[in-house]
């Protein structure tokens, strides 16, 4: 799987699990809603620093954003 798509899928799942909408995450994190949307669609290639900031805002580790998905979660 493409790493950008993997990060986007992981980010979207974690964001939803934490109860954030894209808009609310953007408001609290300093990222724009457009960036969040592009990230989730695999259209962004975040740097390691950005991964750190995204993970921190979600209360997870950067490794959680790049972890392999369970096959049941890719549908």
Average pLDDT over residues 39-47: 97
Confidence (pLDDT) at 74 = 55
Confidence (pLDDT) at 13 = 96
Average pLDDT over residues 33-46: 97
| Ordered structural domains, the chain, with CATH | 3-65 (1.10.260.40)
Confidence (pLDDT) at 28 = 94
Provide the residue count of the chain. Answer: 75
Average pLDDT over residues 38-54: 97
Query: Dihedral of CA 43/65/25/54: which sign?
Result: negative
Which residue reads 């390691």 in tokens? Answer: 48
Confidence (pLDDT) at 73 = 63
Reported as a single tens digit per residue, the pLDDT across 1-19 is 899 999 999 999 999 999 9
What whole-number distance in Å separates Cα of residue 16 and Cα of residue 6? 16
What whole-number distance in Å separates Cα of residue 63 and Cα of residue 21? 22
Confidence (pLDDT) at 69 = 80
């Amino acid at each position: 799987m493409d790493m950008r798509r993997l990060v986007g899928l992981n980010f979207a799942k974690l964001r939803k699990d934490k109860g954030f909408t894209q808009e609310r995450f953007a408001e609290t994190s300093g990222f724009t809603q457009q960036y969040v949307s592009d990230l989730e669609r695999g259209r962004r290639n975040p740097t390691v620093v950005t991964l750190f900031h995204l993970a921190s805002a979600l209360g997870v580790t950067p490794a959680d954003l790049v972890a392999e998905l369970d096959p049941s979660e890719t549908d």
